[in-house]
Amino acid sequence: MRGPLVVLGDALLDVDLQGRAGRLSPDAPVPVLDSLVESARPGGAGLAAELAARAGHDVVLVTALANDPAGARLAELLSSRVRVVPLPFDGETPVKQRVRAAGQSLLRLDSGDRPGTVRPTERDLASVADALGDAGAVLVADYGRGVTSVEEVRRLLGSLTRTPVVWDPHPRGAVPVEGARLVTPNQDEAARFAARSGCADGDLDGLAALARQASCLVGAWRVHSVCITLGPRGALLSHGESSPVLVPSPSVPCADPCGAGDRFAVTAALAIGEGAVTSEAVLAAVASAAEFVAAGGAAAIGTSAPAAWTGRPGRPGGTGEVLVATGGCFDLLHAGHVATLRAARELGDRLVVCLNSDASVRRLKGPTRPLVPAEDRARVLEALEYVDEVVLFEEDTPVEVLRRIRPDVWAKGGDYAGADVPEAAVLREWGGQAVVLPYLQGRSTSRLVATAASAPRGT
């Protein structure tokens, strides 16, 4: 990256009171904690800056600091690798204190909520302009405390034409600046933003509703892409009208997801700053966030932040089975097929594979294909633990079979990233959603066939 990561937003002070819970109170059914140990760390934008600095990156933090004991403690806790551009704030430093035992949060106490105003001087704004001018990438960590609402700060952010901006929004914060490369709300935040922007659609639920919200927010905010983070389900990335990319998360143990959203946003911003395309950055961010929570989350490294949404796809209220479908020729099943099938199955409760018949494959691939007849291809697919059912179709496209089975989700391979999936229109007839899944690079049946044909014959 040509310059430092500039993190701009609202810094908080997070404090953990970690104790041992071995008994219940005699006067109330609550645990009694003893052997309490206090640890403090930066939170909010401060956490994002700290995570990037701990990974060895050059980081500048532009944030408001109140003139109070909590603000002084917050400044002391930031790594020496974080250069701070302070903006004067006449309110209180927000403090989030968590009472924890055995790795779990039992109670959170918030203080420092007295409202205030960020009041940068001309000299302060010149320092902000210098920091943004040198940035290789900018991450806006908005926690609704006022930094991103300062008109002069927004003007400076909006003037960045070549430096990528990743915006992690907050419902009480400012609207992302036009032209931001990526905006990363979680599911609850996306629903609130969508409702405010007139993007809500009560006739849709599950992934279809998320895709509609993300697509609409891309247009409402005039940004390049919106990625809704979904906790253990991964993330849904939309560039607007094309079918969204759904990046599943690896299954990892998670006792405390605190800080996962900040880790996601930091990883995405750094990846984009180093030249990755948005889908690659989101893929890296999902993997990084999963690794982060598996290692114990923010509390394990002395840093903490709000938790991301958790859950899995389903109908409102958690009722009803989610049916997922995917399709293809599946001639010479390879690792790329298996990865796609596994990811597709994670999206719901049942996976149906729509399989091209032999005649359909010949029309699509040529007279020498398929190499494996449909009956055998179906048997191999049915033997996979991720596949619940295989449906054969004779047409060139699976549109008619989709109308018969009416899946909630239609999953396609990553070669459709950034483009509309052909079957998306038919899914909309019953409120289903087409999504694109990442695929393993370099895996294809055609390539396998070509490699086999060119290999020297053995004797």
Contacts (Cβ under 8 Å, ≥6 apart) of 17: 33, 36, 37, 38, 97, 98, 99, 100
Output the CA torsion 398→402→408→410 (10° steps). 0
Determine contact, residues 7/61, Cβ cutoff 8 Å.
Answer: yes
Per-residue burial over 154-174, b if 16 or more Cβ lie within 10 Å, else e, is bebbeebeebbbbbbbbeebb
Determine contact, residues 25/106, Cβ cutoff 8 Å.
Answer: no
The burial of 56, by beta-carbon neighbours within 10 Å (0-12 exposed, 13-18 middle, 19 or more buried), is given as exposed
The rounded distance, in Å, linking the Cα atoms of 69 and 263 is 27
Whether 262 is catalytic: yes
The rounded distance, in Å, linking the Cα atoms of 351 and 237 is 22
Q: Which of 124, 168, 256, 262 is catalytic?
A: 262
Determine contact, residues 42/95, Cβ cutoff 8 Å.
Answer: no
**Token digits for 310?**
């958790």
| Residue 244 φ/ψ, nearest 5 degrees | -75, 160
Could you write out the three-class secondary structure of 23-70? EECCCCCCEEEEEEEEEEEEEEHHHHHHHHHHCCCCEEEEEEEECCHH
Grouping H, G, I as helix, E, B as strand and the rest as coil, residue 76 is helix
DSSP-derived letter for residue 186 is: B
Peptide bond into 373 cis (omega under 30): no
Side chain identity, residue 313: P
Contacts (Cβ under 8 Å, ≥6 apart) of 386: 338, 341, 342, 344, 345, 351
Enzyme catalytic residues: 262
